[in-house]
């Protein structure tokens, strides 16, 4: 990002009313262990605005029924609410058609769906699946399973000390045996924003399909799947201010059309007899059973909420928080930041000399500062740095500069205690 762009960014959130935004998130207004809560564990799960809570509440109070089958009024309203949410997600992701948006439980289920329904049927022994060293376990294990099932090989794009991807060997890693490139948009353990657009372009030039795990990206960045030109893009609702148990898979329509269903059951069929079942059209072919209707409604409300505030503005403000927190931690003796990529979003992983991250987590909690301590479901990343765990603060647009100060105080208090 150039200085001019940064300047533009700073101006873009100058009218940001943080107090009003925080009033939208009732959970933030509480004390924990006698201190104001500083919720800095957003990469694990985000908090929910009243707009989302009320949308879910209103659905259950007024519109609740099953979808796509009832001829009665409530079923129609529930169907409209559910399909309305799909359109909002389609718009949010920049997809062409609602048919390309499949509701799933979350990013994990979406990756498993693509692994089993898209990759597994066409992959052969000796073929390759390409991921990166910085992936979350959710973008490792489903591919390992396909490899075990088929005799394919898992290949890994290496990483550098700063937490960026080492792309020097990418041209060889993307080869005629590669059946998919599955890549995180933003690393959950390090915050690195990967140069996915260039990587997608390289893969597409060799006709290699690409899946992007956007779980850590959609709460922080504007995403446009058509501009990215990826084939699949997956995310979880609960990390972007929506309920748990709902997420979305974007899939290019012609690929989804050709894929067999992932699960069988109701709603994914047109006609069933004991000799033959005709599958439903997109996207219902991939939505077996009654889905998380209220969750989808909540996800739609979260999309509305983010768009009403302006995603670029949210991103700019949050980036500002990350920058000041990074500068503060860099200035502290005995504190090291893990993950120093040039382009980062939300995440600040760090170590305090001679203090185990789990001790950090407990001591911070006593000061009202909620962070994550552990391996962040990215054990290969921990292994790369030769550590078992890090402490991780992760920001959302409702965090404040005061909370950054609370983080810094918590670090100093911890150091004092262990001195």
User: Given the complex with another protein, which of 328 and 359 has the nearer CB atom?
Assistant: 359
Strands 369-370 and 210-213: unpaired
Query: Which residue among 12, 75, 144, 366 contacts another protein (CB under 8 A)?
Result: 366
Smallest distance, Å, CB 11 to another protein?
Answer: 41
Q: How far is the CB of 407 from another protein (least distance, A)?
A: 16
> Exactly one of 129, 382, 393, 406 binds another protein (CB under 8 A); which one?
382
The nearer residue to another protein, 153 or 356, going by C-beta atoms, is 356
The separation between CA 385 and the C-alpha centre of its own chain, rounded to angstroms, equals: 23
Look up residue 74 and give its two tokens.
């409530």
Nearer to another protein, 12 or 336 (CB): 336
Span of 201-209, 226-234, 266-274, 361-369 interacting with another protein by CB under 8 A: 361-369
Position 389 contacts another protein (CB under 8 A): yes
Q: Which residues are catalytic, by number?
A: 377
Whole-Å CA distances, 283 to 83, 178, 396: 11, 27, 31
φ and ψ of 64, to 5 deg = -65, 125
Out of 314, 347, 363, 381, point to the residue binding another protein (CB under 8 A): 363
Of residues 85 and 363, the one with the C-beta less far from another protein? 363
Single out the residue of 157, 357, 381, 411 in contact with another protein (rule: CB under 8 A): 357
- Give the sheet arrangement for strand 390-394, strand by strand: 335-338, 347-352, 390-394, 372-374
In this complex, which beta carbon is closest to another protein, that of residue 266 or of residue 380? 380
Report, in Å, the least distance between residue 419 CB and another protein.
Answer: 9
Binds another protein by CB under 8 A, chosen from 30, 290, 362, 402 = 362
Pick from 133, 185, 252, 375 the residue near another protein by CB under 8 A.
375
Burial of 31 (0-12, 13-18, 19+ CB in 10 A): exposed
Shortest separation between residue 365's beta carbon and another protein, angstroms:
9
If binding is defined by CB under 8 A, does position 374 make contact with another protein? Answer: yes
Q: In 10 A of CB 115, how many CB atoms?
A: 25
Among candidate residues 111, 103, 105, the one with its CA nearest the CA of residue 137:
111
Q: Min. distance of Cβ 351 from another protein in angstroms?
A: 12
Nearest to another protein of 232, 385 (CB atom) = 385
Check residue 8 for interaction with another protein (CB under 8 A). no
* Residues 14-33 within binding reach of another protein (CB under 8 A): 33
Q: Which positions from 144 through 203 interact with another protein, judged by CB under 8 A? A: none
CB closer to another protein, 170 vs 405: 405
- How many residues bind another protein (CB under 8 A)? The answer is 19
Question: Per-residue x/- mask for another protein, residues 300 to 339, rule CB under 8 A?
Answer: ----------------------------------------
Task: Tell me: does residue 392 bind another protein (CB under 8 A).
Answer: no
| Least spacing, CB of residue 79 vs another protein, in Å | 42
Q: Is 349 in the site for another protein (CB under 8 A)?
A: no
d(CA 286, CA 269): 10
Distance in angstroms (rounded) separating the CA atoms of residues 163 and 36: 33
The residue from 367, 394, 399, 415 that contacts another protein (CB under 8 A) is 367
Residue ranges in contact with another protein by CB under 8 A? 33, 355-359, 362-363, 366-367, 373-375, 382, 387-389, 417-418
């Amino acid at each position: 990002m150039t200085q001019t762009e940064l300047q533009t960014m700073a101006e873009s959130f100058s009218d940001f009313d943080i107090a009003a935004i925080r009033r939208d998130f009732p959970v933030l207004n509480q004390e924990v262990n006698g201190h104001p809560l500083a919720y800095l564990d957003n990469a694990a799960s985000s908090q929910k605005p009243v707009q989302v809570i009320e949308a879910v509440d209103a659905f259950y109070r007024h519109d609740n029924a099953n979808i796509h089958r009832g001829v009665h009024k409530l079923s129609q309203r529930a169907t409209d609410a559910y399909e309305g949410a799909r359109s909002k997600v389609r718009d949010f992701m920049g997809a062409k058609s609602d048919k390309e948006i499949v509701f799933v439980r979350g990013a994990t289920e979406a990756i498993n769906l693509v692994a089993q329904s898209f990759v597994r049927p066409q992959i052969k022994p000796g073929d390759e699946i390409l991921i990166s060293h910085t992936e979350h376990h959710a973008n490792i294990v489903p591919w390992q399973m396909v490899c075990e099932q088929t005799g394919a090989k898992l290949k890994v794009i290496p990483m550098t000390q700063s937490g960026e991807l080492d792309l020097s060997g990418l041209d060889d890693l993307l080869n005629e045996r590669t059946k998919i490139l599955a890549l995180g948009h933003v690393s959950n353990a390090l915050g690195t924003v990967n140069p996915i657009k260039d990587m997608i372009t390289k893969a597409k030039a060799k006709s290699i399909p690409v899946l992007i795990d956007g779980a850590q990206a959609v709460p922080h960045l504007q995403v446009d799947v058509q501009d990215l030109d990826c084939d699949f893009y997956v995310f979880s609702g609960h990390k972007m201010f929506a309920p748990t148990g709902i997420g979305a898979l974007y899939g290019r329509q012609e690929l989804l059309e050709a894929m067999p269903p992932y699960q069988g059951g109701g709603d994914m069929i047109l006609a069933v007899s004991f000799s033959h079942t005709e599958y439903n059209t997109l996207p219902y072919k991939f939505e077996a059973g009654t889905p998380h209707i209220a969750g989808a409604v909540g996800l739609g409300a979260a999309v509305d909420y983010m768009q009403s505030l302006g995603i670029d503005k949210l991103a700019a403000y949050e980036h500002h928080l990350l920058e000041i927190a990074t500068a503060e931690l860099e200035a502290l003796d005995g504190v090291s930041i893990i993950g120093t990529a040039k382009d980062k979003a939300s995440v600040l992983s760090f170590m305090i000399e001679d203090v185990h991250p789990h001790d950090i987590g407990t001591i911070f909690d006593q000061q009202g500062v909620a962070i994550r301590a552990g391996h962040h479901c990215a054990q290969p990343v921990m292994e790369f740095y030769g550590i078992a765990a890090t402490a991780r603060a992760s920001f959302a647009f409702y965090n404040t500069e005061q909370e950054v100060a609370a983080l810094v105080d918590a670090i100093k208090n911890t150091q004092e205690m262990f001195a």
